[in-house]
Amino acid sequence: MQRKDISKIPAEFLPLVKQVITINQDYCREFRRQAQRLNAEILKHPTKILVFKCMDGRILFSSFTETPLGYLRNFRNLGGQFNMGWKGLKEALTGTVQKLHDEGRGCLAIVTYHYSKGDIKRGCAGYKYDVKASIDGAMQFKKQIKDAYRELPYHIFPIVVGIETDEESLKLHNGNGEFFDLATVDPDITDDEMFDKLLALYEYIPGSVLADLNPLLMGNVRHTNKIKLSNRPIAEMEHGEWLVGAGGATAYEWLHVPNAALLVGQYNPNIERPIAEALHVIKNGWHPGKKFLYMSAASYGGNNHPSLVMPEVRYYSRIIHETAEKFFPELLPDMYPVRALVDAYTQELKIV
């Protein structure tokens, strides 16, 4: 697959495309740099951590928990809404859990929702800012995971975690009405004190799994403290995304910049709905002169040869364009397509 000659891209979109390339190059460099830390972390904490989250560009769970790049497996969709009735999702999740089981590893599935304590309108557009509905949705999906694998030998433990986006702090629910809000924790909490909290909150989860969750929570307390001390402006908490992306599950791990992209996962069979909602968020933040990219990407590596994934890339690009034509034709002059292949091992991006 030939790399695209980016000098042919219209001048008004070129700075955004160059920004994408820079973001990718920076990530790949940092990902390489963190490789030792990543390997050490996996050896020390073998439980695989899956994060189900909203496509909202502000939700960067790995930064919020200070985990090494590549440590978490992210699943994204509108509102963090998922359903085990989606064939692709069920297959991907079962494949992952089976592989972990063969390796003798357990798995923690963190099902998230998000909200803002300062202004309800900075909450989740996917749930029309209804926090209770977001929690109910997350609880339902958690139950679906539990029910689906209950009779099977896999060690998968789902939990519901809220993300408060003003201070980027986590709130853990145990499903029995009790929760543990990390925003209220003493910043000097020790590892052992945190672990005791977890043991009490999740009596039904093995200690070894909770021990692997503990560093994420300690990371979140450190992170939240930095956010509090930084006094960041409100504007950075509101939507400013300039890219709508769709495509393969691991095709966007590199896109790790706050408030840059709205990323639609591939698993929802009705993909038009999250794409339309992403365009709606862009439209709300639109002003004359604002340009944005719509991106479709797939990762390749192993059995996924570029020629096999390229049809997906073309397909998602077409679907985004068709959805824009149908619901937001006024945005068409301000959007530009980027199609990309991503190396699954290095995360290096190739615009094609």
CB closer to Zn ion, 124 vs 335: 124
Give the list of residues 6+ apart from residue 175 with CB closer than 8 angstroms, or none.
139, 142, 159, 160
Site string for Zn ion, 110-129 (x = CB under 5 A): --------------x-x---
Of the pair 106, 137, the CB lying nearest Zn ion is at 137
Residue 52 CB, shortest distance to Zn ion, in Å, is 12
Q: Which of 17, 20, 50, 54 binds Zn ion (CB under 5 A)?
A: 54
DSSP 260: S
CB of 264 to Zn ion, least distance (A): 12
Cα end-to-end distance, the chain, whole Å: 7
Nearer to Zn ion, 126 or 162 (CB): 126
**In the complex, what is the shortest distance from the CB of residue 71 to Zn ion, in angstroms, rounded to a whole number?**
22
Q: Which of residues 60-89 bind Zn ion (CB under 5 A)?
A: none
Task: Decide whether 126 or 137 has the Cβ nearer to Zn ion.
Answer: 126
One character per residue 14-53, x = contact with Zn ion (rule: CB under 5 A): ----------------------------------------
Judged by beta carbon, residue 48 or residue 122, the one nearer Zn ion is 122
- In the chain, the amino acid numbered 87 is K
Q: Is 298 in the site for Zn ion (CB under 5 A)?
A: no
Question: Per CB under 5 A, which region of 19-27, 54-62, 274-282, 305-313 contacts Zn ion?
Answer: 54-62
Residue 50: alpha-carbon gap to chain centroid = 10
Residue 327 CB, nearest approach to Zn ion (Å) = 19
Nearest to 218 by CA among 166, 276, 169, 164: 169
Buried/exposed 106-139: b ≥16 CB within 10 Å, e otherwise: bbbbbbbbbbbeeeeebbbbbbebbbeebbebbb
From 31, 56, 138, 213, residue interacting with Zn ion (rule: CB under 5 A): 56
Q: Nearest-5° angle of CA 113, CA 262, CA 254?
A: 100
Task: Describe the strand order of the beta sheet including 48-54 as a list of residue ranges.
Answer: 73-77, 48-54, 107-115, 156-164, 169-173, 179-181
* Residue 210 three-state SS: helix
Q: Which is nearer to Zn ion, 134 or 299 (CB)?
A: 134
Report CA-CA distances (Å) from 308 to 127, 246, 264, 299, 341: 35, 17, 21, 10, 11
Residue (78 or 351) nearer to Zn ion, CB: 78
**70 vs 162 by CB, closer to Zn ion:** 162
| Closest separation in Å from C-beta 112 to Zn ion | 9
| 9's tokens | 């891209």
In the bound complex, what is the minimum distance in angstroms from residue 162's beta carbon to Zn ion?
Answer: 12
Q: How many helices (H) and strands (E) does the chain have?
A: 9, 11
To the nearest whole angstrom, how small is the minimum distance from the Cβ of residue 127 to Zn ion? 7
Q: Are 189 and 221 in contact (CB under 8 A)?
A: yes
Nearest residue to 158 via CA among 133, 140, 131: 140
- Give the sheet arrangement for strand 335-343, strand by strand: 261-264, 243-247, 292-300, 335-343, 349-351
| Contact positions with Zn ion (CB under 5 A) in 330-349 | none
Could you count the other beta carbons within 10 Å of the beta carbon of residue 199? 14
CB of 285 to Zn ion, least distance (A): 14
Q: Which is nearer to Zn ion, 56 or 167 (CB)?
A: 56
Shortest Cβ distance from residue 129 to Zn ion (Å)? 9
Q: For Zn ion, how many residues bind (rule: CB under 5 A)?
A: 4
Residues binding Zn ion (CB under 5 A): 54, 56, 124, 126
